[in-house]
Amino acid sequence: MSGITRRHALGVTASAAAGLAFTGSARAAAPAAHSGPADQPGSFDEVYLGRRIQGGPTGGHGGGHHGDHGDGYAIRIDGDDLHIMRNADGTWISVINHYEPRATPRALARAAVVELQGAALVPLAPSPSAV
């Protein structure tokens, strides 16, 4: 006899699988470093599906009644501001695609154009209590 039983071999295999699963989930749950100016996306200005989309750094933080959730970056569709936010993992969301993060501001602007289906972008207005 070799000294190893089927029960022991299954236990070792299960332990190894659990360890790998734990390592993978810990890595996925680890907080991403907050992105700073070094990885700020570049500017773009193009016509996409007949709509002009523009994006670029705003040159600072703050401003506006919602603050600067775009992390110093702004997107415009046909000249109107698209309210955007940068997530902690570096992805981007907008008021139009709030539950569908995109990797880049350009991809976010394009997804918003598709979702608008030709409708005008209506700017966010402050609530009456905020005025």
Nearest to 64 by CA among 84, 44, 78, 45: 84
Query: Comparing 126 with 117, which gets the higher pLDDT?
Result: 117
Bridge partners (DSSP) of residue 55 are: 44, 75
Q: Residue 114's pLDDT band (boundaries 50, 70, 90)? A: very high
Is 40 buried (19+), middle (13-18) or exposed (0-12) by CB count in 10 A?
middle
Nearest to 46 by CA among 57, 38, 54: 54
Sequence ranges of the domains in the chain: 1-31, 41-116
Fold of 41-116: protein ne1242 fold (3.30.1880)
CB 51 within 8 A of CB 39: no
Q: 35-64, pLDDT tens digit by residue?
A: 455 567 899 999 999 999 999 998 765 444
